[in-house]
A = this chain, B = another copy of it.
Amino acid sequence: MKHFEIGLNAVIYAVTEDEPRVLTVLDEGLGSDSPALAWGRLDPVGDRTLELGLRRWVREQTGLELGYVEQLYTFGDRERAPAAATEEARLFSVAYVALVWEEEPPGRLATWRNVYDFLPWEDWREGRPPILDRLLVPHLRAWASGRPTPRAAREERIEITFGLGDAGWDEERVLDRYELLYEAGVFSQRHAAQAGDGMALDHRRILATALGRLRGKLKYRPVVFELLPNHFTLLQLQRVVESLAGVRLYKPNFRRLVEKAGLVEGTGKLHGGTGGRPAELFAFRREVLRERPASGVGLPSLPAPTA
């Protein structure tokens, strides 16, 4: 092994029917029948920048024209590729997150998959996911007990990353949770299949990294709008935020927050037929990208249930 291979990975998100989706492919070449993230190569001569290269092969493979694209992280651990491949070259992946709205029919080999198929414990919209108490926390606890020395440290780590203490659940720590579950062997045991679907190579880790980053970014940059059509109701906007954050929000305050931040402007038009009073359609005020790119959509969390 004396040279390098560079791959570009794209975590392409869309939100359809209030569910967050990633674009996945089935790639025999990766030596796995699990879904993989969209993947391509840089043309070292033709692609002027990494991002342009990414856009090019995504377009070629799927026909999708990416809008918002952001570099996520570069993965280069020695063990991330199968040993056989490692003999020849060390594999790097420069991973990007992309947000699209179009619900395009993806290319033949590509499929939209629900993000929470792979990370089911991250979706708290319907309350605490049962898988936590049914499988994950018991498994983690068992893993922590046993050896005396690292036990307290492990237990504390579990408390914190899974919000068991008084600090509560922090929706941004997606990667911490994934890594803890991975270390604890949750994905390599008999019941691995109950802990969500797997992905090829370390793609599930990349997905976790991307989700955590996106959840953070939502709060201080107006990126949600990349996932919406030009006109949308405030509830649609809220649902998209909720689907990514994995949390329910309190409507009245959400509306005010968004409006006060000047993120949207009402078009006079109304949107009816959804079973209630017709809602006004809003549009993203593109000016804020220039004015105050620090603004985002905050997360006024849901008041604790009274009962």
Contact = CB atoms under 8 A, between A and B. Distances in A.
A69 interface: no
A292 B161 CA distance: 10
Contacts of A170: 294
A198 B233 CA distance: 50
Contacts of A157: 290
Contact of A92 (B6, B47, B172): B6
Nearest to A6: B4
B44 A291 contact: no
Interface string A269-307: 000000000000000000000111010000000000000
Given A170-B294, A291-B167, A74 B94 contact: yes
A290 B153 CA distance: 10
Nearest to A92: B6
Contacts of A291: 160, 167
Interface stretch (A15-23, A76-84, A122-130, A258-266): A76-84
Interface string A197-241: 000000000000000000000000000000000000000000000
Interface residues of A, number: 34
A109 interface: no
Contact of A290 (B49, B77, B156): B156
Residue among A42, A74, A170, A291 with most chain B CB within 10 A: A74
Contacts of A50: 74, 76-77
Contact of A48 (B1, B6, B79, B294): B79
A68 to B, nearest CB: 17
B90 A76 contact: no
Residue among A44, A77, A170, A172 with most chain B CB within 10 A: A44
A73 B50 CA distance: 12
A2 interface: yes
A50 B80 CA distance: 12
A8 to B, nearest CB: 10
A73 B76 contact: no
A1 B292 CA distance: 42
B78 A48 contact: yes
A44 B167 contact: no
A87 B31 CA distance: 34
Interface in A37-82: 42, 44-45, 47-50, 71, 73-74, 76-79
Closest 4 CB pairs of A and B: A44-B90, A50-B76, A74-B74, A48-B78
18 contacts: A1-B44, A1-B45, A3-B3, A4-B4, A6-B92, A44-B78, A44-B89, A44-B90, A49-B76, A49-B77, A50-B74, A50-B77, A71-B74, A157-B290, A160-B290, A167-B292, A170-B294, A172-B294
